[in-house]
Structure 1
Amino acid sequence: MTDTYRARYLPGYLLLVAVPVAATVILLAGLDEPRRAGEGSTATGPSELLPALAVILLVVRLVGAALSRLGQPAVVGEVVAGIVLGPSVLGLLLPDVQEALFPSALLPSLDGLAQLGVVFFMFLVGLELPLDLLRRSGPAAVALAQASTAVPFLCGTAVAAGVLGAYRPEGASSLALVLFVGSAFSITAFPVLSRILGEQRLTRTPLGTLGLATAGIGDVIAWCLLAAVTAVAASASPAPAALSCALVLIYGAVMFLLVRPAFSRLVPRLERAGQPMAAAVMLTTALASAWLTDGIGAHSIFGAFLAGVVMPRNSGVIRKVADRIEGLTNWLMLPVFFAVVGLKLDLPAVGGPRDWAVLVLIVCAASASKIGAVMLFSRWLGRGRREAATLGLMMNCRGVTELIVLQLGLTLGILSQQLFAMLACMALVTTAATGPLLRRLRPDRGRPESNCESMEVQMPTPRHERTT
């Protein structure tokens, strides 16, 4: 690192990473200890499951295809389809039809299938995380990832502490709400971003590589942070929360130091055994890991993510099995997840002018903190205005990852229905805006990126670009 670069790097790091982290700690001081009333319901899904699934798959695919023609990623159309099937549209226009298609007794069955889809999706997210790219990303990507997490987290905690107290559910703690909203503001959807960049042929450019590395590192930071927030929200006192966080760290170390090398030695046997045995091993690992992290006080999604991260990347049989898991997940389970989110999302609950003003504040604060932090730090490191704006827009993409986080908050009793609807709208708006705004900027893909350190890294071929 040159003296000139260090002179730019250190002050920017202090301003956009260290100061927000310190300010967040100060802001959180004095908030009440976490407490939540446990709740749960059990029900069995009736025979209406099959027609409900047929309707979900048809509507999700049709709406997703329609919005894809308008330049939107498929996830935006799928989220919109879920909203159309829920009380916000179908329930408002044709309540009898909505009740006939999705009776209340059916929701637990749909929710169980959706949660299984989330586990498999997070497993694939971990498997697609480009570890080699993250290792070679350099200080710029690491610092940008920290800034894109620290500043939005501070902004989210400030918004939650200042104006969202009225939306806190009964029994939820202020601390859990503030921490959770901060985490929701800091999320970047690495899988959706990689697909958007692939569609615009930016994946293998230096700027696209830097964006993916930054998003990947930010994902790791955000998931670690969310694991801690989940432990706090699920515990009645600080001691169990601290124990859960420690157990998650120990579990992560075990996965990397023991399970990952064991899988590397197991790959030749899996190659000889074929896809059925490889699928059994991979799915068992994902489900067992999800169960273990759920048992130690985090959530199943963290275990599934870790299981994907420790899987070998250079095995042909693992890639083939992953493609098949991705097909089942994307074609069946995630559409059910979007439908479940839509059934829980009640936009009319965002009622009067005050609620809509809060929604606008949430969207503006989440976007400005993400884009602004990355732009400022990028400019500080010497990148051009257009390149800095492009990086900021990349980090503002939240996608399905954000919806998974919000669903977790609703399940834990941290978010009310109103706040869930507001944050889901924020996720939809920021994701929908990413592709069109990136196309409008259209950075010069052939030009050297700046006088900062470049990142000449060989990118792995994204799974959605492979032919099977």
Structure 2
Amino acid sequence: MFRLLIAASVVIAVAALGGAVARRCGQPAVVGELVAGFVLGPSVLGALAPQVQHSLFPASVLPQLDLLAQLGVVFFMFLVGAELPSGLLRRSTRTGLVIGHASTAIPFLIGISMALWLHHRYPSNGAGMTAYLLFIGLSFAITAFPVLARILAERRMLHSPLGVTGMAAAGIGDATGWSLLVVVIAIVRGTSVTSAVLAVAYMAAFVVIMMLIVRPLLARTLQWADRRPSVRDGVSAGLICLVLVSALATDRMGVHTIFGAFMAGVVMPRQSPLFREMAGKIQGITVWVMLPLFFAIVGLRTQLNTLSGTTAWLTCLAVLVVAVVAKFGSGTVAALAVGGHSRRESVAIGAMMNCRGLTELIVLNLGVELGVLTPALFAMFVCMALVTTAMTGPILRRVVPKQQPPAATPDGPASTSLAKEDLDAPLLS
């Protein structure tokens, strides 16, 4: 406990400092917190002062840090699900649907092609070829919906027509990406094709139950609890138990805990005052304590010294360039092809789709746990996630005015009203 408290205190302090510096530089806090994880890991502190690094993070403490970090990811995914604009996705305009699917499918296919080339140089740690190809393809296709929402809010674009289009496309890409990840994890964890198919079938049944049974039951329960302050504490405890039980259920299905937590967030009635109060409390402990520990685990797993030699760094550069061209390019071209967007607006949408952030780190961390990514590949993709996330803010500042006046979109004024209904009061910070 003594070692754990020291390690956690150092991690939280350094992450807070990194987040503050990132905000001063016009970047989302996740960029600074990830850099803080790098600094505390073997790539920086371990290279400059290995004794200090081993003293702060001895082998006996790492499992406890990892456990707290994984619990933080579970609650973070719950908040992500709660913030996913389900109403916006159901009523997405043609523009959002085309951009969202194009900016997911094209990078996914390009990533699979890239994986064929990478496999000869950096084979997996035991995962099959199919899982390797699908996972690398998915790593290229991810968009970080929560981080993008924060960037757009800071730019006062969240409720603008352009911001609504970007959020709708990112939400569609997020939903598609998580669905693909269910299949990939089922394939990696399944001992046979039958077990993988069963895992996907179980997950589909779980989603149906959550949407058709749990969701209306939650709505009635929270309406009842909002009128009776005496039961608020008990209902809040029940909601947290639902998150944990949902995470346990999907883990037992052979998928992963994050999907259960994500679905628990999706079915929550987000307009309920009790839910928003509970989500705010969960957000505090998750964002300020548990997620910095996750960044530290990512930093401790990222060993830049595995990228030794010119060939490794050129491969890392190739991964970055292909990821940017695939995601940025597909989003931009799709926005131009749909029509109604200027060249600058299309570039802005491409930049939004290229934002990977914390969502990418969660996927990459799963890749290490499942034996798909080697340490060298993990380091390359973490660098790619950091750079592509850091690109988003500066590009938007360059191509979009600070305050964009409301204007009609090619799909009519409905997009702006959707923004007010479905993008109100973001939970995550």
Q: Secondary structure at the match of 2:60?
A: helix
For 2:163 and 2:223, locate their aligned partners in 1 and report how far apart those are by CA, in whole Å: 34
Q: Secondary structure at the match of 1:251?
A: helix
**CA distances 1:177-217 after superposition (whole Å, capped 9, x unpaired):** 11001111111111000000000000110000110111111
For 2:387 and 2:2, locate their aligned partners in 1 and report how far apart those are by CA, in whole Å: 36
For 1:229 and 1:171, locate their aligned partners in 2 and report how far apart those are by CA, in whole Å: 14
For 1:173 and 1:431, locate their aligned partners in 2 and report how far apart those are by CA, in whole Å: 30
CA contact (8 A) 1:375 1:392 kept: yes
| 1:5 alignment partner in structure 2 | none
| 1:355 alignment partner in structure 2 | 312
| 2:246 alignment partner in structure 1 | 289
**CA distances 1:50-89 after superposition (whole Å, capped 9, x unpaired):** 0111101111111111121010100000000001000000
* 2:268 maps to 1:305: no
Percent identical among aligned pairs is 47
CA contact (8 A) 1:384 1:450 kept: no
**CA distances 1:321-358 after superposition (whole Å, capped 9, x unpaired):** 10000001001000000011111111111111111111
Q: Secondary structure at the match of 2:61?
A: helix
For 2:407 and 2:129, locate their aligned partners in 1 and report how far apart those are by CA, in whole Å: 47
Q: Map 1:380-399; keep pairs closer than 5 Å.
A: 380-382=337-339, 383-399=341-357
Correspondent of 2:180 among 206, 212, 225: 225
For 1:172 and 1:165, locate their aligned partners in 2 and report how far apart those are by CA, in whole Å: 14
CA contact (8 A) 2:144 2:356 kept: yes
CA contact (8 A) 2:65 2:297 kept: yes
| 1:234 alignment partner in structure 2 | 189
| 1:448 alignment partner in structure 2 | 407
For 1:313 and 1:360, locate their aligned partners in 2 and report how far apart those are by CA, in whole Å: 41
Correspondent of 1:463 among 407, 414, 426: 426
Q: 169-178 or 369-378, which moves further after superposition? A: 169-178
CA contact (8 A) 1:73 1:192 kept: yes
CA contact (8 A) 1:374 1:388 kept: yes
**CA distances 1:240-266 after superposition (whole Å, capped 9, x unpaired):** 111111111111111101110110111
**CA distances 1:236-292 after superposition (whole Å, capped 9, x unpaired):** 221111111111111111110111011011113332245422321121111100110
For 2:17 and 2:165, locate their aligned partners in 1 and report how far apart those are by CA, in whole Å: 34
TM-score (norm 2): 0.95
Q: Map 1:184-263; keep pairs closer than 5 Å.
A: 184-263=139-218
Change (3 A) 1:49 1:303: same
**CA distances 1:412-444 after superposition (whole Å, capped 9, x unpaired):** 111111101100111000001100111011157
| Alpha-carbon distance, 1:447 to partner | 6.2
Q: Map 1:314-353; keep pairs closer than 5 Å.
A: 314-353=271-310
| Alpha-carbon distance, 1:313 to partner | 1.4
| Alpha-carbon distance, 1:49 to partner | 0.3
For 1:79 and 1:465, locate their aligned partners in 2 and report how far apart those are by CA, in whole Å: 17
| 1:105 alignment partner in structure 2 | 60
Correspondent of 1:417 among 364, 375, 391: 375
Change (3 A) 1:465 1:188: closer
Change (3 A) 1:225 1:465: closer
**CA distances 1:341-396 after superposition (whole Å, capped 9, x unpaired):** 11111111111111111111111111111111111121112221111111010011
For 2:243 and 2:182, locate their aligned partners in 1 and report how far apart those are by CA, in whole Å: 17
Give the letter aligned to residue 180 of structure 2.
L
Q: 367-376 or 131-140, which moves further after superposition? A: 131-140
| 1:76 alignment partner in structure 2 | 31
For 1:317 and 1:127, locate their aligned partners in 2 and report how far apart those are by CA, in whole Å: 13
| Alpha-carbon distance, 1:163 to partner | 2.6
Give the letter aligned to residue 425 of structure 2.
P
Give the letter aligned to residue 423 of structure 1.
F
Q: 456-465 or 136-145, which moves further after superposition? A: 456-465
Correspondent of 2:364 among 403, 406, 409: 406
**CA distances 1:117-163 after superposition (whole Å, capped 9, x unpaired):** 00000000000111222222222211211111100100111101123
Q: 445-454 or 369-378, which moves further after superposition? A: 445-454
**Aligned-CA RMSD value:** 1.6
| 2:333 alignment partner in structure 1 | 376
Q: 224-233 or 165-174, which moves further after superposition? A: 165-174
Give ranges in structure 1 of 5+ residues lacking alignment: 1-45
Change (3 A) 1:361 1:449: farther
Change (3 A) 1:464 1:121: closer
CA contact (8 A) 1:165 1:174 kept: no
CA contact (8 A) 1:278 1:318 kept: no
Q: Secondary structure at the match of 1:56?
A: helix
Give the letter aligned to residue 359 of structure 1.
C
Q: 113-122 or 263-272, which moves further after superposition? A: 263-272
CA contact (8 A) 1:390 1:441 kept: yes
Q: Secondary structure at the match of 1:202?
A: coil
CA contact (8 A) 1:409 1:415 kept: yes
Give the letter aligned to residue 398 of structure 1.
R
- Number of aligned positions between the proteins: 421
Give the letter aligned to residue 27 of structure 2.
Q
| 1:4 alignment partner in structure 2 | none
Give the letter aligned to residue 440 of structure 1.
R
For 1:125 and 1:97, locate their aligned partners in 2 and report how far apart those are by CA, in whole Å: 36
Give ranges in structure 2 of 5+ residues lacking alignment: none
For 2:224 and 2:271, locate their aligned partners in 1 and report how far apart those are by CA, in whole Å: 14
* 2:390 maps to 1:432: yes
For 1:139 and 1:463, locate their aligned partners in 2 and report how far apart those are by CA, in whole Å: 24
| Alpha-carbon distance, 1:453 to partner | 4.8
* 2:130 maps to 1:170: no
Q: Map 1:55-204; keep pairs closer than 5 Å.
A: 55-204=10-159
